[in-house]
């Protein structure tokens, strides 16, 4: 995530430049679009009358206490809500209105309004007066750091939690879903980051899970399959067979199934929680295409993402949350400066701070990897890391980078090749740890943390035996050592290392994982996506931590999907594509565009994906 570059070809190809969109509201460019007259007839007053009004309407201003810096001025900004209808050939009129819900809103109508919503958990005021307004057919982005209340807000909408205070209006009616089913029935579908699909059921069974079509208790498999096929076609994915097992689908396919489930409920609002986190670049494009088609059909989308780029690409309006409050509402997604968005999220104005790097002295390599190969994952990988050096591997998900890292750590058995650390051959995790290697894996919660255990036990997970005497643990020493490391890493909240690690934010959990290896006296640290799920503010701190480590002589080998991160942090950059390390260069001698080009193998330059 970096300051968006409007000149980047990948983006300008599919999204019109800000300013031009506004002018294009009522008019459809010619081409493969339906005849404008037909569209007018169906959309009629809503498009031409309501929308400009909606656009000019000032953003519902949250009370002053929530937005100390005042509201962004929406005047003159093109209403982002227009874009879906203009860009894609689909219009609401084309879509046969599903039966049963007569009060289908027109494009641009406000469908959902939250006012002063409060939700309290023991000891935490997760939502503290949230304002939100979502219109039919728009992509409304929700921006905020981890812990800002986005997840809680989603769960309130999805019927998982009930708001303690405030009002929620859905399609003009007061709305307080008692259960996720009730929310679904009302037309609000939620697609969580961790998709809630049943792997061993088919696509159709998953799409209709919980509201299976049946007659006298017998499933109507044929009709379910037919309806699923229809929905998949609507999503532009009719090549997915309804009978296929969800297990066999890639992450992107599973997301399609989740969306199919939402549509099977005839959802009017789809909430997507970081849908792009599990997707590769071209899959994200496909997702955006689908979202545009859905919004063109009048469906509203609440889109949550950490990636500003995406928000600019797909979003119409942005609402920013901080500490459970709305700090800015209905900012135009594309034209609001990054500086402003970040400042509303964090109170800071700079997005990334990469600490200056002192050049490392040329020493003997600490880690030496020679011809490492795992069939089907990566081949013939050779690299080296010196003490105090940060080496970054840039590559897409699926390029084999995580597998390479795990193999170096001994967590996977290599088919060929050697890993040596300080001259010692590494073949197992135990050996790697003993030799002074540590790893912060990609999936923090499932691969690194004991969520129910206190911070200090997580921090001493690989070193507690060292503090023990004759097999008896010394928790006093452990606590002291953990507290010292926690202070050095500026772990927040400060002080208490007895808190369950579950209560920490993603960034602070990552610090604990790094601290674990610091305590173990690690000489080489492997970092797999160190800032995934870490909010912008905490990232800068993590970068500082990584630099400090290197300054102390620890070698770092890191993997990241975010090219600026690799370039900003590393001394040396390796590019990985399809299981091969294809390029190596000092970070100072390579730029983002080059790396991106290498990573994508030119796919970025081809413009529109197929």
Partner 1 sequence: MTDQTTKASLPAQSPPVEAPPAQARARGNWFKSDGAEPLRRNLGLIGVLVVLVIIGAATRPELYGDATWVKNNTFTILQQASAIGVVTVGMTFVIIGGGIDLSVGAIIAVAGVWSTTLATQSYGTAGMIFTALVVGVVVGLINGVLISYGRLVPFIATLAMMVAARGVAAQISGKQTQVSANTTINSIASTRWLGIPVLVYILALVVAAGWVLLNRTTFGRRTVAVGGNPEAARLAGINVKFHTLLLYALSGLCCGIAAIMLTSQATSAQAAMANLYELDAIAAAIIGGTLLSGGRGTIIGALFGVLVFSTITNLFAINNLSTEAQNMVKGAIIVAAVLVQQFRYKSLTQLLGRSSS
Binding interface with partner 1 (CB under 8 A): 122-123, 409, 411, 429-430, 432-434, 439, 441, 446-454, 457, 461-462, 464-465, 468, 471-473, 498, 500, 516
Closer by beta carbon to partner 1, 7 or else 465: 465
Least Å from the CB of residue 471 to partner 1: 5
The 10 Å CB-count burial string (b at 16+, else e) for 71-86 is bbebeebbbbbbbbbb
Least Å from the CB of residue 505 to partner 1: 18
How would you class 210 by CB atoms within 10 Å of its CB: exposed for 0-12, middle for 13-18, buried for 19 or more?
exposed
Closer by beta carbon to partner 1, 294 or else 455: 455
Closer by beta carbon to partner 1, 96 or else 122: 122
Closer by beta carbon to partner 1, 269 or else 497: 497
Q: Which residues have a Cβ under 8 Å from the Cβ of 528 and sit 6 or more positions away?
A: 401, 402, 405, 406, 439, 440, 441, 442, 558, 559
Please tell me whether the peptide bond between 185 and the residue prior to it is cis, using omega within 30 degrees of 0: no
Please tell me whether the peptide bond between 493 and the residue prior to it is cis, using omega within 30 degrees of 0: yes
Least Å from the CB of residue 593 to partner 1: 35
Pair 254, 277: CB distance under 8 Å: no
Least Å from the CB of residue 491 to partner 1: 18
Least Å from the CB of residue 601 to partner 1: 31
Separation between Cα atoms, residue 252 and residue 256, nearest integer Å: 6
- For residue 597, the Cα-to-chain-centroid distance in whole angstroms is 22
Closer by beta carbon to partner 1, 153 or else 437: 437
Pair 198, 254: CB distance under 8 Å: no
Least Å from the CB of residue 460 to partner 1: 9
Separation between Cα atoms, residue 341 and residue 319, nearest integer Å: 9
Q: Which residues have a Cβ under 8 Å from the Cβ of 444 and sit 6 or more positions away?
A: 506, 509, 510, 513, 532, 533
Closer by beta carbon to partner 1, 411 or else 600: 411
Separation between Cα atoms, residue 282 and residue 285, nearest integer Å: 5
Closer by beta carbon to partner 1, 109 or else 528: 528
Closer by beta carbon to partner 1, 317 or else 401: 401
Least Å from the CB of residue 120 to partner 1: 8
Least Å from the CB of residue 118 to partner 1: 11
Pair 485, 522: CB distance under 8 Å: no
Among 126, 119, 113, smallest CA distance to 168 is for: 113
């Amino acid at each position: 995530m970096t300051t968006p570059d409007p000149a980047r070809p990948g983006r300008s190809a599919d999204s019109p430049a800000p300013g031009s969109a506004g002018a294009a509201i009522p008019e459809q460019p010619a081409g493969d679009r339906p005849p404008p007259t037909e569209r007018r007839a169906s959309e009629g007053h809503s498009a031409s009358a309501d929308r400009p009004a909606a656009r000019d309407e000032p953003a519902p201003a949250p009370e002053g206490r929530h937005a100390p810096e005042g509201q962004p001025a929406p005047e003159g900004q093109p209403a982002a809500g227009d874009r879906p209808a203009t860009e894609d050939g689909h219009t609401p009129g084309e879509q046969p209105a599903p039966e049963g819900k007569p009060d289908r809103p027109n494009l641009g109508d406000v469908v959902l309004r939250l006012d002063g919503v409060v939700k309290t958990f023991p000891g935490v005021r997760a939502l503290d007066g949230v304002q939100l307004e979502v219109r039919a057919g728009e992509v409304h982005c929700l921006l905020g750091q981890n812990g800002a209340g986005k997840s809680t807000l989603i769960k309130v909408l999805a019927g998982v939690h009930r708001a303690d205070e405030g009002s929620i209006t859905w399609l003009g009616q007061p709305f307080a879903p008692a259960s996720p089913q009730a929310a679904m029935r009302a037309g609000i579908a939620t697609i969580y980051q961790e998709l809630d699909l049943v792997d061993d059921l088919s696509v159709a069974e998953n799409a209709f899970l919980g509201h299976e079509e049946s007659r006298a208790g017998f499933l109507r498999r044929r009709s379910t399959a037919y309806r699923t096929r229809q929905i998949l076609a609507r999503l532009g994915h009719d090549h997915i067979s309804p009978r296929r097992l969800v297990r066999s689908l890639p992450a992107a396919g599973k997301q399609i199934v989740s969306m199919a489930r939402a549509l099977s409920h005839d959802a009017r609002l789809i909430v997507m929680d970081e849908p792009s986190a599990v997707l590769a670049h071209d899959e994200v494009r496909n997702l955006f295409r689908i979202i545009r088609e859905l919004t063109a059909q009048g469906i509203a989308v609440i889109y949550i993402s950490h990636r500003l780029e995406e928000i600019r690409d797909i979003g119409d309006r942005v609402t920013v949350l901080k500490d459970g409050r709305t700090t800015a509402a209905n900012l135009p997604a594309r034209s609001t400066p990054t500086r402003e968005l970040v400042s509303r999220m964090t109170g800071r104005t700079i997005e990334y701070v990469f600490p200056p790097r002192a050049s490392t002295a040329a020493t003997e390599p600490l880690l030496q990897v020679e011809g490492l190969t795992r069939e089907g994952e990566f081949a013939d990988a050779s690299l080296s890391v010196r003490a105090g050096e940060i080496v970054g591997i840039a590559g897409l998900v699926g390029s084999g980078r995580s597998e390479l890292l795990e193999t170096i750590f001994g967590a996977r058995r290599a088919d060929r090749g050697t890993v040596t650390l300080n001259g010692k051959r590494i073949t197992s995790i135990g050996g790697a740890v003993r030799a002074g290697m540590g790893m912060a894996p990609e999936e923090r919660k499932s691969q690194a943390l004991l969520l129910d255990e206190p911070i200090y036990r997580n921090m001493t997970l690989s070193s507690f035996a060292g503090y023990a005497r004759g097999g008896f643990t010394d928790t006093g020493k452990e606590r002291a050592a953990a507290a010292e490391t926690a202070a050095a890493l500026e772990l927040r909240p400060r002080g208490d290392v007895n808190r369950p690690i579950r209560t920490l934010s993603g960034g602070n959990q990552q610090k604990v994982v790094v601290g674990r290896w610091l305590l173990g006296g690690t000489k080489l640290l492997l970092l797999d996506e160190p800032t995934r799920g870490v909010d912008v503010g905490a990232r800068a701190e993590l970068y500082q931590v990584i630099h400090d480590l290197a300054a102390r002589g620890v070698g770092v080998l890191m993997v990241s999907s975010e090219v600026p991160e690799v370039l900003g942090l590393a001394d040396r950059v390796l590019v990985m594509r399809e299981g091969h390390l294809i390029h190596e260069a000092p970070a100072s001698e390579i730029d983002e565009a080059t790396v991106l080009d290498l990573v994508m193998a030119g796919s970025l330059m081809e413009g529109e994906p197929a």
